[in-house]
Amino acid sequence: MTLSVPLPLLVGQGLPPFDAITPEQVEQAIPALLSELNESLSALEATLELRLGQSESLRWEEVMEPLHQLGERLRWSWGVVSHLNGVCNTPALREAHQQQQGAVVQFGNRAGQSRAIYRALKALQANPSQLDATQMRILGAELRDMQLRGVGLEGQEQQAFNAACERLAELATAFGNHVLDATNGWSLTLNSEDELAGLPASLRQLLAQAATDAGESGWRLGLDMPRVVPFLKFSERRDLREKVYRAQVGRAASGELDNNPLIAQTLELKLKQAQLLGYANWAEVSLASKMAGSVHEVEGLLEDLRAAAFPVAQQELAALAACASRHGAPEAAELKPWDVSYWAEVLRQESFELNSEALRPWFSLEQVLQGLFVLCQRLFDIQIVAADGEAPIWHSDVRYFRVLEACNGEPLAGFYLDPYSRPGSKRGGAWMDECLGRSRSASGEPVLPVAYLICNQSPPVGDTPSLMTFDEVETLFHEFGHGLQHMLTTVERPQAAGINNVEWDAVELPSQFMENWCYDRATLMGMARHWQSGELLPEAEYQKLLAARTFMAGGATLRQVHFALTDLRLHSQWTPESGESPDQLRRQIAATTTVLEPIAEDAFLCAFSHIFAGGYAAGYYSYKWAEVLSADAFSAFEEVGLEQEEEIVATGRRFRDTVLSLGGSRSPAEVFEAFRGRQPSSEALIRHSGLVAA
């Protein structure tokens, strides 16, 4: 089936016309596209079967280019639908997405299990003299991925595998929707000054704005991060902190939005798929395509970090209890989870005289963006210019920017920035995704990469611009690091350009690397200006930020270890026959990875979207694995001296020419060694984390 006049969703190239794409169009366009793609796939298979029977060898262009074109057409159209489902979620769009998802998965399974394509790839691999190193790496990854998608299965086993794929996609979508709805479905209206005790002016304004938007008076509290995080940090009302905390950790764990059954089904299906593929568990499947060689190797890294962080976290908890005791607080005798953020902020202010909320006026979004762009020009010789109005957008919050070569103005890439929290329609968290990848069009014209950069920071309130917490500044730098690897790639083959074909546990290297620059004097002092007076951040405040960098680092490290180990063991040890629920296994792990036992209502797994709706299953450890790489990469700049401009510029160019440029064309170990001159060391991470003494 071919449409005579393409729907906007079927254009398949260029920037998507977001405002022209409707749920009704999704229901019409995706079936038409899949019908056409299935026909094209059948034709390609027939051609390859014919060529495989001939004596002359296959050429790359005969196999990989048509395969890429098939995949790119689906990625473009379905990618727009998935993107809008995450940033402009509506009941109608959600329904349209769910209705088409099964057919999309079916096509992916068909292509991934094509024997003709698999044989063609093997034939290409058998003639290495015709291929360069990048092509060989792409081929190896494609063949491995086809094996993991079940190309070797037959009959009932393949049917069972494919049915599991479709059901897992449904479960992931439902899981994410439940979290979004549960987050959005809870609110608490505060009506008196007493209930606002301790809250900073910026949070009061945000809560007042939320109440006004809901047609209420007073102050409306919700579970989205810009409201719940500062409330738990600053509210003097312990009873309200407890109420909010219980609501947050209990999200999506009861009623129609209960994710517990979805978790068990997801784990059971992944285990079944792994066994069909000949693996003992899903963790082994996950690690087959990552830097880490085995579950044992990952457990070793996590145990090293746990052993270093646990005693530090215990000391930190004792310090919080002592702080509460000095203030005569009754909770000093037994701190609860809803007390930790509050007393940590009190102790931070006492220890460093650093009020994180008071720093907001120095970090308006516009100033932070300018500081980020100046840093990128300094390190990577690129210029970033606003291009609002030059690209279609999906919401009035969204901005568009162009990335140019600083020396000659040559266009390199573009990116969208969607910075603010919209609890009713936008999923929480922050992420980078691909809008367009570096490639060439059918006519041979270069296609420049374009990234989506999505955050959920505090929105403007009234005439006050978005004033960011320092955590939000770090998050923006983090996501921009992902964007840089996508946008500054020089790899010509799209299958390995940017973040494509980069092992999952190395893909966080550039993002975590960029976070380090938030503490660099030239960068921070260049962007930290008071939004009203233009006054620079006082030197004393900068020194406090540096001193407080590793404050509560033991607890923060332990928290990430808890998440990563829970994820790993759910996918390597849990089975339906184990006699325990996933939550019970998580609580066993908590005995050695938390210093405060989770409360009975803590249903953290029910909102663990990273592993049940976001692709990180048996891969959450990647954050810590890649942090070893990113900390060591930043230490290259520390070693030449952060004040030595010439050396910093040279090192930045080398980082661009290796980590940001080479993408997935070479293994992460090779890319890292090309930048650093040696294999990575964990010394810098331990030093940066403040765990050396432990």
CA 369/CA 374 separation, integer angstroms: 9
CA 340/CA 655 separation, integer angstroms: 39
**Three-state SS at 453:** strand
C-beta atoms surrounding 620 within 10 Å: 21
Looking at the DSSP bridge assignments, the partners of residue 220 are 189
**Three-state SS at 367:** helix
C-beta atoms surrounding 440 within 10 Å: 12
C-beta atoms surrounding 670 within 10 Å: 13
Q: Which one is catalytic: 142, 195, 434, 479?
A: 479
Report residue 270 as tokens: 């992944």
Looking at the DSSP bridge assignments, the partners of residue 401 are 386, 415
CA 603/CA 384 separation, integer angstroms: 43
Place of tokens 């993107």: 83
For residue 65, indicate whether it is catalytic.
no
CA 532/CA 576 separation, integer angstroms: 59
- The answer for residues whose C-beta is within 8 angstroms of residue 11's C-beta and 6 or more apart is 17, 76
C-beta atoms surrounding 158 within 10 Å: 16
Report residue 369 as tokens: 């963006």
Report residue 661 as tokens: 């440029």
Place of tokens 């969208």: 416
**Vertex 669 angle, CA 414 and 296, to 5°:** 115
- 512, 522, 521, 479: which is closest to 378 by C-alpha? 522
Report residue 361 as tokens: 């006026």
* DSSP codes, 616-637: -TTTTTHHHHHHHHHHHHHHHH
CA 592 to chain centre: 27
Looking at the DSSP bridge assignments, the partners of residue 630 are none
Q: Which residues are catalytic?
A: 479
